Structure 1
Amino acid sequence: MEKAFKLTKVKDDKKAQYASYYLKDEASYWWESSKALLERESISWETFLEMFLEKYLPSYMQDQLEMRFMDLRQEDMTVAEYEVKFSELARFVPEYVNTEAKKAKRFQTGLKPRIQSQMVLLKIRTYVVLVQKAMIVEGERDATKRESEGKKRIYEESEQDQGRSKFRGKFGRNAGSRNQRFQKFKPENGN
Protein backbone atom coordinates (compact mmCIF):
# COMPACT_ATOMS: atom_id res chain seq x y z
CA MET A 1 0.00 0.00 0.00
CA GLU A 2 2.88 2.34 0.80
CA LYS A 3 4.04 2.02 -2.83
CA ALA A 4 0.61 3.05 -4.06
CA PHE A 5 0.67 6.08 -1.77
CA LYS A 6 3.98 7.20 -3.22
CA LEU A 7 2.87 6.62 -6.78
CA THR A 8 -0.46 8.41 -6.43
CA LYS A 9 0.89 11.03 -3.97
CA VAL A 10 -1.85 10.45 -1.39
CA LYS A 11 -1.71 12.95 1.47
CA ASP A 12 -1.29 11.58 5.03
CA ASP A 13 -4.79 12.54 6.14
CA LYS A 14 -6.34 10.56 3.25
CA LYS A 15 -4.25 7.35 3.45
CA ALA A 16 -6.63 5.43 5.74
CA GLN A 17 -9.61 6.39 3.58
CA TYR A 18 -7.72 5.39 0.42
CA ALA A 19 -6.61 2.03 1.87
CA SER A 20 -10.07 1.21 3.25
CA TYR A 21 -11.52 1.67 -0.23
CA TYR A 22 -9.61 -1.45 -1.37
CA LEU A 23 -10.80 -3.68 1.46
CA LYS A 24 -13.14 -6.46 0.35
CA ASP A 25 -15.70 -8.76 1.90
CA GLU A 26 -15.00 -9.54 5.58
CA ALA A 27 -12.21 -6.94 5.81
CA SER A 28 -14.55 -4.24 4.52
CA TYR A 29 -17.25 -5.20 7.05
CA TRP A 30 -14.66 -5.25 9.82
CA TRP A 31 -13.45 -1.74 8.93
CA GLU A 32 -16.93 -0.23 8.76
CA SER A 33 -17.79 -1.52 12.24
CA SER A 34 -14.38 -0.54 13.67
CA LYS A 35 -14.60 2.94 12.22
CA ALA A 36 -18.05 3.39 13.76
CA LEU A 37 -16.68 2.43 17.18
CA LEU A 38 -13.92 5.05 16.96
CA GLU A 39 -16.49 7.81 16.49
CA ARG A 40 -14.00 9.99 14.62
CA GLU A 41 -14.42 11.51 11.22
CA SER A 42 -10.75 11.32 10.28
CA ILE A 43 -8.54 8.35 11.15
CA SER A 44 -4.79 8.53 10.77
CA TRP A 45 -2.87 6.05 8.67
CA GLU A 46 -0.92 4.90 11.74
CA THR A 47 -4.16 4.14 13.62
CA PHE A 48 -5.62 2.31 10.63
CA LEU A 49 -2.45 0.27 10.15
CA GLU A 50 -2.22 -0.60 13.85
CA MET A 51 -5.86 -1.75 13.92
CA PHE A 52 -5.52 -3.68 10.67
CA LEU A 53 -2.39 -5.50 11.81
CA GLU A 54 -3.92 -6.31 15.20
CA LYS A 55 -6.91 -7.86 13.41
CA TYR A 56 -5.14 -9.70 10.58
CA LEU A 57 -1.62 -10.15 11.90
CA PRO A 58 -1.85 -10.16 15.71
CA SER A 59 1.27 -9.91 17.83
CA TYR A 60 1.42 -13.66 18.59
CA MET A 61 1.48 -14.37 14.84
CA GLN A 62 4.14 -11.71 14.35
CA ASP A 63 6.20 -13.41 17.06
CA GLN A 64 5.79 -16.79 15.35
CA LEU A 65 6.85 -15.35 12.00
CA GLU A 66 9.86 -13.70 13.65
CA MET A 67 10.90 -17.03 15.17
CA ARG A 68 10.47 -18.81 11.83
CA PHE A 69 12.65 -16.16 10.21
CA MET A 70 15.35 -16.43 12.87
CA ASP A 71 15.33 -20.26 12.68
CA LEU A 72 15.33 -20.37 8.88
CA ARG A 73 18.21 -22.43 7.44
CA GLN A 74 18.88 -23.65 3.90
CA GLU A 75 19.17 -27.32 4.92
CA ASP A 76 17.91 -29.43 1.98
CA MET A 77 16.68 -26.47 -0.11
CA THR A 78 18.55 -25.04 -3.06
CA VAL A 79 19.88 -21.50 -2.65
CA ALA A 80 17.03 -20.26 -4.88
CA GLU A 81 14.39 -22.01 -2.75
CA TYR A 82 16.02 -20.70 0.44
CA GLU A 83 16.04 -17.16 -0.98
CA VAL A 84 12.30 -17.34 -1.76
CA LYS A 85 11.50 -18.50 1.79
CA PHE A 86 13.87 -15.89 3.23
CA SER A 87 12.19 -13.05 1.29
CA GLU A 88 8.75 -14.32 2.21
CA LEU A 89 9.51 -14.21 5.95
CA ALA A 90 11.67 -11.06 5.85
CA ARG A 91 8.58 -8.97 5.03
CA PHE A 92 7.31 -9.55 8.55
CA VAL A 93 10.54 -8.58 10.34
CA PRO A 94 11.79 -5.44 8.61
CA GLU A 95 13.95 -4.48 11.60
CA TYR A 96 16.24 -7.45 10.85
CA VAL A 97 16.68 -6.60 7.17
CA ASN A 98 16.40 -2.81 7.01
CA THR A 99 19.92 -2.41 5.55
CA GLU A 100 21.71 -4.29 2.78
CA ALA A 101 24.44 -5.39 5.19
CA LYS A 102 21.95 -6.77 7.76
CA LYS A 103 19.96 -8.58 5.09
CA ALA A 104 23.08 -10.10 3.52
CA LYS A 105 24.50 -11.15 6.89
CA ARG A 106 21.25 -12.80 7.99
CA PHE A 107 20.91 -14.65 4.65
CA GLN A 108 24.52 -15.83 4.83
CA THR A 109 23.97 -17.14 8.37
CA GLY A 110 21.31 -19.55 7.12
CA LEU A 111 23.29 -21.00 4.21
CA LYS A 112 24.64 -24.54 4.27
CA PRO A 113 28.02 -24.54 6.07
CA ARG A 114 29.97 -25.52 2.93
CA ILE A 115 28.51 -22.57 0.99
CA GLN A 116 28.59 -20.20 3.96
CA SER A 117 32.31 -20.78 4.51
CA GLN A 118 33.09 -19.59 0.99
CA MET A 119 30.78 -16.58 1.29
CA VAL A 120 32.49 -15.49 4.51
CA LEU A 121 35.80 -15.31 2.68
CA LEU A 122 34.29 -13.04 0.01
CA LYS A 123 33.02 -10.50 2.59
CA ILE A 124 29.97 -9.58 0.50
CA ARG A 125 27.75 -6.90 2.04
CA THR A 126 25.14 -6.66 -0.73
CA TYR A 127 22.20 -9.05 -0.57
CA VAL A 128 21.67 -9.55 -4.31
CA VAL A 129 25.37 -10.16 -4.94
CA LEU A 130 25.53 -12.60 -2.03
CA VAL A 131 22.57 -14.61 -3.36
CA GLN A 132 24.09 -14.73 -6.85
CA LYS A 133 27.51 -15.83 -5.57
CA ALA A 134 25.92 -18.48 -3.32
CA MET A 135 24.05 -19.86 -6.35
CA ILE A 136 27.30 -19.98 -8.32
CA VAL A 137 29.11 -21.82 -5.50
CA GLU A 138 26.19 -24.26 -5.21
CA GLY A 139 26.23 -24.83 -8.97
CA GLU A 140 29.97 -25.42 -9.03
CA ARG A 141 29.77 -27.87 -6.13
CA ASP A 142 26.92 -29.74 -7.81
CA ALA A 143 28.82 -29.91 -11.11
CA THR A 144 31.95 -31.17 -9.31
CA LYS A 145 29.86 -33.74 -7.45
CA ARG A 146 28.20 -34.97 -10.67
CA GLU A 147 31.58 -35.19 -12.39
CA SER A 148 33.04 -37.11 -9.45
CA GLU A 149 30.07 -39.48 -9.36
CA GLY A 150 30.36 -39.99 -13.12
CA LYS A 151 34.04 -40.89 -12.85
CA LYS A 152 33.29 -43.23 -9.96
CA ARG A 153 30.54 -44.95 -11.96
CA ILE A 154 32.83 -45.35 -14.99
CA TYR A 155 35.56 -46.78 -12.74
CA GLU A 156 33.12 -49.22 -11.12
CA GLU A 157 31.78 -50.31 -14.53
CA SER A 158 35.36 -50.77 -15.74
CA GLU A 159 36.15 -52.90 -12.68
CA GLN A 160 33.05 -55.01 -13.31
CA ASP A 161 33.95 -55.48 -16.98
CA GLN A 162 37.48 -56.58 -16.05
CA GLY A 163 36.05 -59.04 -13.55
CA ARG A 164 33.70 -60.47 -16.20
CA SER A 165 36.49 -60.87 -18.75
CA LYS A 166 38.65 -62.69 -16.17
CA PHE A 167 35.69 -64.89 -15.34
CA ARG A 168 35.02 -65.61 -19.03
CA GLY A 169 38.69 -66.23 -19.66
CA LYS A 170 38.97 -68.81 -16.92
CA PHE A 171 35.80 -70.64 -17.59
CA GLY A 172 35.77 -70.03 -21.34
CA ARG A 173 39.01 -72.03 -21.79
CA ASN A 174 37.75 -74.90 -19.70
CA ALA A 175 34.47 -74.88 -21.52
CA GLY A 176 36.28 -75.01 -24.88
CA SER A 177 38.57 -77.89 -23.86
CA ARG A 178 35.58 -79.78 -22.45
CA ASN A 179 33.83 -79.47 -25.80
CA GLN A 180 36.90 -80.82 -27.56
CA ARG A 181 37.07 -83.80 -25.16
CA PHE A 182 33.44 -84.67 -25.80
CA GLN A 183 33.97 -84.55 -29.57
CA LYS A 184 36.68 -87.25 -29.25
CA PHE A 185 34.15 -89.70 -27.81
CA LYS A 186 31.43 -88.89 -30.28
CA PRO A 187 30.79 -91.68 -32.79
CA GLU A 188 31.37 -90.65 -36.38
CA ASN A 189 28.75 -92.84 -38.08
CA GLY A 190 26.04 -92.07 -35.63
CA ASN A 191 26.48 -95.61 -34.08
Structure 2
Amino acid sequence: MEKAFELAEVKDDKKVQYASYYLKDEGSYWRESSKALLEGKVITWEKFIEMFLEKYLPSYMQHRLEMRFLNLRQEDMTLAEYEVIFLELSRFAPEYVNTKAKKAKRFQEGLKTGIRSQVALLEIRNYVALVQKVMIIEGEKEVTKGEIEEKKRKFEESKSDQGSFKFRGKFGKNGGG
Protein backbone atom coordinates (compact mmCIF):
# COMPACT_ATOMS: atom_id res chain seq x y z
CA MET A 1 0.00 0.00 0.00
CA GLU A 2 2.85 2.36 0.87
CA LYS A 3 4.30 1.92 -2.63
CA ALA A 4 0.97 2.81 -4.18
CA PHE A 5 0.76 5.90 -1.98
CA GLU A 6 4.25 6.91 -3.00
CA LEU A 7 3.52 6.41 -6.68
CA ALA A 8 0.24 8.34 -6.51
CA GLU A 9 1.87 10.98 -4.27
CA VAL A 10 -0.84 10.58 -1.61
CA LYS A 11 -0.31 12.93 1.32
CA ASP A 12 -0.37 11.52 4.88
CA ASP A 13 -3.71 13.12 5.70
CA LYS A 14 -5.38 11.28 2.78
CA LYS A 15 -3.87 7.80 3.25
CA VAL A 16 -6.63 6.54 5.57
CA GLN A 17 -9.32 7.65 3.10
CA TYR A 18 -7.58 5.95 0.18
CA ALA A 19 -6.93 2.73 2.09
CA SER A 20 -10.50 2.66 3.42
CA TYR A 21 -11.85 3.00 -0.10
CA TYR A 22 -10.07 -0.20 -1.17
CA LEU A 23 -11.25 -2.30 1.77
CA LYS A 24 -13.76 -4.96 0.72
CA ASP A 25 -16.35 -7.06 2.53
CA GLU A 26 -15.35 -7.63 6.17
CA GLY A 27 -12.60 -5.02 5.99
CA SER A 28 -15.12 -2.41 4.91
CA TYR A 29 -17.47 -3.37 7.77
CA TRP A 30 -14.56 -3.19 10.21
CA ARG A 31 -13.62 0.29 9.00
CA GLU A 32 -17.19 1.57 9.36
CA SER A 33 -17.57 0.15 12.87
CA SER A 34 -14.19 1.47 14.02
CA LYS A 35 -15.07 4.90 12.62
CA ALA A 36 -18.26 4.89 14.68
CA LEU A 37 -16.35 3.91 17.83
CA LEU A 38 -13.94 6.81 17.42
CA GLU A 39 -16.86 9.26 17.23
CA GLY A 40 -15.56 11.53 14.50
CA LYS A 41 -11.95 11.72 15.72
CA VAL A 42 -9.33 12.00 12.99
CA ILE A 43 -7.45 8.76 12.53
CA THR A 44 -3.81 9.08 11.54
CA TRP A 45 -2.27 6.62 9.09
CA GLU A 46 -0.13 5.15 11.89
CA LYS A 47 -3.20 4.64 14.09
CA PHE A 48 -5.09 3.09 11.16
CA ILE A 49 -2.28 0.58 10.57
CA GLU A 50 -2.11 -0.20 14.29
CA MET A 51 -5.87 -0.81 14.47
CA PHE A 52 -5.88 -2.85 11.26
CA LEU A 53 -3.04 -5.09 12.39
CA GLU A 54 -4.62 -5.50 15.82
CA LYS A 55 -7.76 -6.77 14.11
CA TYR A 56 -6.34 -8.85 11.25
CA LEU A 57 -2.85 -9.77 12.41
CA PRO A 58 -2.76 -9.91 16.22
CA SER A 59 0.58 -9.94 18.01
CA TYR A 60 0.51 -13.70 18.69
CA MET A 61 0.18 -14.33 14.92
CA GLN A 62 2.93 -11.83 14.16
CA HIS A 63 5.15 -13.67 16.65
CA ARG A 64 4.35 -17.05 15.06
CA LEU A 65 5.20 -15.70 11.60
CA GLU A 66 8.42 -14.16 12.93
CA MET A 67 9.42 -17.50 14.45
CA ARG A 68 8.54 -19.30 11.22
CA PHE A 69 10.84 -16.87 9.41
CA LEU A 70 13.68 -17.39 11.88
CA ASN A 71 13.36 -21.19 11.56
CA LEU A 72 12.95 -21.19 7.77
CA ARG A 73 15.24 -23.67 5.96
CA GLN A 74 15.43 -24.47 2.26
CA GLU A 75 15.46 -28.26 2.74
CA ASP A 76 13.57 -29.82 -0.22
CA MET A 77 12.51 -26.51 -1.78
CA THR A 78 14.00 -25.11 -4.94
CA LEU A 79 15.85 -21.84 -4.55
CA ALA A 80 12.93 -19.96 -6.13
CA GLU A 81 10.43 -21.49 -3.69
CA TYR A 82 12.71 -20.76 -0.73
CA GLU A 83 13.20 -17.14 -1.83
CA VAL A 84 9.46 -16.52 -2.21
CA ILE A 85 8.73 -17.80 1.31
CA PHE A 86 11.79 -15.98 2.69
CA LEU A 87 10.60 -12.64 1.28
CA GLU A 88 7.02 -13.23 2.36
CA LEU A 89 7.95 -14.06 5.96
CA SER A 90 10.72 -11.45 6.24
CA ARG A 91 8.02 -8.77 6.50
CA PHE A 92 7.24 -10.10 9.96
CA ALA A 93 10.83 -9.81 11.20
CA PRO A 94 12.08 -6.56 9.67
CA GLU A 95 14.82 -6.08 12.25
CA TYR A 96 16.59 -9.17 10.85
CA VAL A 97 16.59 -7.93 7.25
CA ASN A 98 16.79 -4.15 7.49
CA THR A 99 20.16 -3.97 5.71
CA LYS A 100 21.48 -5.77 2.62
CA ALA A 101 24.09 -7.53 4.75
CA LYS A 102 21.59 -8.74 7.37
CA LYS A 103 19.19 -9.93 4.69
CA ALA A 104 21.97 -11.80 2.87
CA LYS A 105 23.19 -13.39 6.11
CA ARG A 106 19.70 -14.56 7.14
CA PHE A 107 19.01 -15.93 3.63
CA GLN A 108 22.34 -17.77 3.60
CA GLU A 109 21.68 -19.32 7.02
CA GLY A 110 18.59 -21.08 5.66
CA LEU A 111 20.20 -22.55 2.55
CA LYS A 112 20.84 -26.26 2.07
CA THR A 113 24.08 -27.28 3.79
CA GLY A 114 26.01 -28.03 0.59
CA ILE A 115 25.12 -24.74 -1.04
CA ARG A 116 25.52 -22.75 2.16
CA SER A 117 29.08 -23.99 2.66
CA GLN A 118 30.01 -23.06 -0.92
CA VAL A 119 28.53 -19.59 -0.63
CA ALA A 120 30.03 -18.94 2.80
CA LEU A 121 33.49 -18.89 1.23
CA LEU A 122 32.45 -16.00 -1.01
CA GLU A 123 31.47 -13.76 1.94
CA ILE A 124 28.70 -12.05 -0.02
CA ARG A 125 27.07 -9.22 1.92
CA ASN A 126 24.53 -8.16 -0.69
CA TYR A 127 21.22 -10.05 -0.85
CA VAL A 128 20.69 -9.75 -4.61
CA ALA A 129 24.27 -10.80 -5.39
CA LEU A 130 23.95 -13.74 -2.99
CA VAL A 131 20.74 -15.00 -4.62
CA GLN A 132 22.36 -14.76 -8.05
CA LYS A 133 25.41 -16.77 -6.94
CA VAL A 134 23.24 -19.39 -5.28
CA MET A 135 21.21 -19.71 -8.48
CA ILE A 136 24.43 -20.36 -10.39
CA ILE A 137 25.53 -22.97 -7.84
CA GLU A 138 22.13 -24.68 -7.86
CA GLY A 139 22.09 -24.67 -11.68
CA GLU A 140 25.58 -26.17 -11.85
CA LYS A 141 24.59 -28.85 -9.36
CA GLU A 142 21.64 -29.77 -11.57
CA VAL A 143 23.88 -29.95 -14.66
CA THR A 144 26.43 -32.06 -12.80
CA LYS A 145 23.68 -34.33 -11.47
CA GLY A 146 22.34 -34.76 -15.00
CA GLU A 147 25.80 -35.58 -16.36
CA ILE A 148 26.39 -38.16 -13.62
CA GLU A 149 23.00 -39.77 -14.26
CA GLU A 150 23.73 -39.90 -18.00
CA LYS A 151 27.12 -41.57 -17.42
CA LYS A 152 25.51 -44.00 -14.98
CA ARG A 153 22.79 -44.85 -17.52
CA LYS A 154 25.38 -45.44 -20.26
CA PHE A 155 27.45 -47.60 -17.93
CA GLU A 156 24.39 -49.68 -16.99
CA GLU A 157 23.51 -50.10 -20.67
CA SER A 158 27.03 -51.19 -21.60
CA LYS A 159 27.11 -53.56 -18.63
CA SER A 160 23.84 -55.20 -19.68
CA ASP A 161 25.08 -55.46 -23.29
CA GLN A 162 28.19 -57.31 -22.11
CA GLY A 163 26.08 -59.67 -20.00
CA SER A 164 24.12 -60.79 -23.07
CA PHE A 165 27.25 -61.66 -25.02
CA LYS A 166 27.74 -65.45 -25.18
CA PHE A 167 31.08 -67.04 -25.80
CA ARG A 168 31.03 -69.35 -28.82
CA GLY A 169 34.58 -70.37 -29.08
CA LYS A 170 36.33 -73.68 -29.57
CA PHE A 171 34.24 -75.58 -27.04
CA GLY A 172 30.88 -73.90 -27.66
CA LYS A 173 27.97 -75.44 -29.55
CA ASN A 174 29.02 -73.97 -32.85
CA GLY A 175 32.75 -74.37 -32.27
CA GLY A 176 34.74 -76.82 -34.30
CA GLY A 177 36.60 -79.37 -32.52
Q: Same fold (TM over 0.5)?
A: yes
Amino acid across the alignment from 1:105: K
| Percent identity of equivalent pairs | 68
Amino acid across the alignment from 1:176: N
1:141 aligns to what? Answer: 141
Query: Bigger radius of gyration, 1 or 2?
Result: 1
The structural deviation recorded for 1:93 is: 2.1
What count of residue pairs does the alignment treat as equivalent? 177
Range moving further from structure 2, 168-177 or 154-163: 168-177
1:175 aligns to what? Answer: 173
Q: Which runs of 5+ in 1 are unaligned?
A: 181-191
Distance 1:63 1:170 in 2: 76
Distance 1:26 1:151 in 2: 59
Amino acid across the alignment from 1:175: K
Describe the SS at the equivalent of 1:169. coil
Range moving further from structure 2, 146-155 or 46-55: 146-155
8 Å CA contact 1:13–1:42 kept in 2: the answer is: no
The structural deviation recorded for 1:80 is: 1.3
**TM score, norm. by length of structure 2:** 0.91
CA RMSD of aligned residues (A): 2.1
1:77 aligns to what? Answer: 77
Give the 3 Å change call, closer, same or farther, for CA 15–163 of structure 1 in structure 2. same
The structural deviation recorded for 1:126 is: 1.2
**TM score, norm. by length of structure 1:** 0.85
Distance 2:27 2:168 in 1: 83
Amino acid across the alignment from 1:174: G
Distance 1:106 1:84 in 2: 14
Please identify which structure carries the higher helix content.
Answer: 1
The structural deviation recorded for 1:172 is: 11
Distance 1:105 1:129 in 2: 12
Residue deviations 1:123-177, cap 9 Å, x none? 1111111111101101111211221222122222222222221xx2159963336
Give the 3 Å change call, closer, same or farther, for CA 48–172 of structure 1 in structure 2. farther
1:86 aligns to what? Answer: 86
Amino acid across the alignment from 2:174: G
Distance 1:96 1:85 in 2: 15
8 Å CA contact 2:168–2:174 kept in 1: the answer is: no
Give the 3 Å change call, closer, same or farther, for CA 18–172 of structure 1 in structure 2. farther
Distance 1:67 1:11 in 2: 35
Distance 1:20 1:145 in 2: 53
Amino acid across the alignment from 1:42: V
Distance 2:134 2:170 in 1: 55
